[in-house]
Structure 1
Amino acid sequence: MARNNLFVVLIFLGILANGLGPFGVNGLSLTYYLFTCPLVESIVKVNVDKILRIDPGLAGPLVRMHFHDCFVEGCDGSVLIDSTPGNKAEKDAESNLSLRGFEVIDEIKAEVEKRCPGIVSCADILALVAKDVVLFSGGPMFFVPKGRKDGRRSKAADALVKLPPFTSNASQLIDFVGKLGLTAQDLVALSGAHTLGAARCSSFKHRLKNFNATHDIDPSIDPEFLKVLNKTCAAGDTAEQPFDGSIIQFNNEYFQALQKNKGVLFSDQTLATNPKTKELVDTYANNRAVFFLDFQRAMIKMGIMNVKEGSNGEVRKTCRKIN
């Protein structure tokens, strides 16, 4: 408990140092709903705890939903919008088909609307859900500056371009996140969220056959783990393989798996060999406290990327469609 409190203090000081104090900068604030919807964080937390007690397997997909939202149109809830006859939305892009838990966001939004109609954005709810999922699963506590507005654009084509493919190597990933203002350290720390959840066979089967012109099988895969991956894929493209041995526990086992060449995705395993990321993988594998601290910082940083403010967005009545 003392260690967690220390993390919270350190992160709070970091927020102040970066201009995101309690009274806010650039439209976001830790106290944004203090007078308009003071119970919003309690409502979200109670519902997240209740839902994960029933279905702890939703932890990974719910955190990943926040990631996939932020990396496409900024953290604006655009991944929550349903497709229409005239528009294929982000959630129906191939890279988002493994996301689950949209009904969870719907339920929480409905509860919040009962207390504070038209006040709290879906984007803020999604960010708060991710925070509480991490904490419920044994991960670190971190602050979520609030005040995001919901976006009015959601296109599957955007997700195809703006979400890095699972075939990316570490250098490509570093370049990708760099354009968003994130560092290699942020990349590795955020990748640690893969300690929750699983990957579909369709996202790693290219490693098992016809890998490249030189190797039929990705040579970076541990031989025994290769048998596990082949067995998973024998059940079909939608069969899922956990990223590590603790699928519903937030810890540093994901990095330990990378050290043993047991990373499920190529984009994960490559972090363990690139000179710019290998040391971080080793550090996080050996020191959970350091991983937790860097993850907190990176989550706050990611959560404020390209947020919509003022007239650039809205507060949706329901998260599945624009007003």
Structure 2
Amino acid sequence: MTTTSRLLTLLSLLQTRRDWPGAVLAERLHISHRTVRRDIERLREMGYRIDTTMGPDGGYRLDAGSELPPLLFDDDQVLALAIALQAAAMSGTEIGEAALRALTTVRQVMPSRVRRRMDAVSFTTLAHTGAGPAPSVSPDVLIALSAAVRAHEVLRFDYADPRASDTTSDAGSPPARRVEPHHLVASQGRWYLLAWDLDLGDWRIFRADRMTPRTPTRLAFVPREVPGGDAAAFVAARFKGSAQSDAWPCVGTVLLRLPARDVLPFAGDGVVEDIAPDWCRYTAGSWSWVSLAAALARFDADLEVVGPPELADAFTRLAERFGREASGR
């Protein structure tokens, strides 16, 4: 690296942690301890307050001063900043507008190369889906997917879907998926691509952590309208097992022999009504009547079905199923 590049890298490292042993800095920068000391002195001459730390691992610390030093970000930090600020801007909280202004401010002072990397990621946020721990996704995958969405370009990718069949191409590997990508959606740390599947002729939702984009096709397409016109609502509806709207396809009401205060912490998106000291009315939804009945059983309390009849029938099916299991022991 040139001296200027090395000084900028050194300053960036000093900003990322409290203390840096001199030996570690020398190793990270691939320079000698003597060069590290000279570079530290150069930064001090520029006005940066860098303290020397004592001890066996003696090193350096960038002290907080009255003036903010230049903020230096590597490519991954820029991507993380763009994602965090976009998510905050669409969070629906009072900081949303401030986050959007911060993103605009940061973008304006970035070099063009870094600015392009920030602009490469654009996505939609979605409410919590109730999924488990989020798997990691490569930043390069997010950039490739978002770039295809922005450019309205047909996307080819390999998809590791454990539910998929073992169908393979003549070459012996699974055939690449071909889609028209429309929205990159983020939900509680998980990433999804909403796209029109060209081979199946239907809308599909793909998990980004299972996708491996292939070489860009450079084939443009005219974007189709997402059903309902709202990508986030469409994806949320699919997660709930509904093909029409962002609502559970099966919704029922029961009377629970529990105080409302004991049900509220576990009500999720259900509605709890206090009707008596030891009773409450609870309305909730699920993707099937049996799953809704099973979910209501988790309260471990007496209950009465208010409606609809499909929910009562689901309890009957569960009772028969569990009865067979109990009688077999």
TM category, shorter: under 0.3
* Structure with greater contact order relative to length (CA < 8 Å, sep ≥ 6): 1
Larger radius of gyration: 2
More strand, by proportion: 2
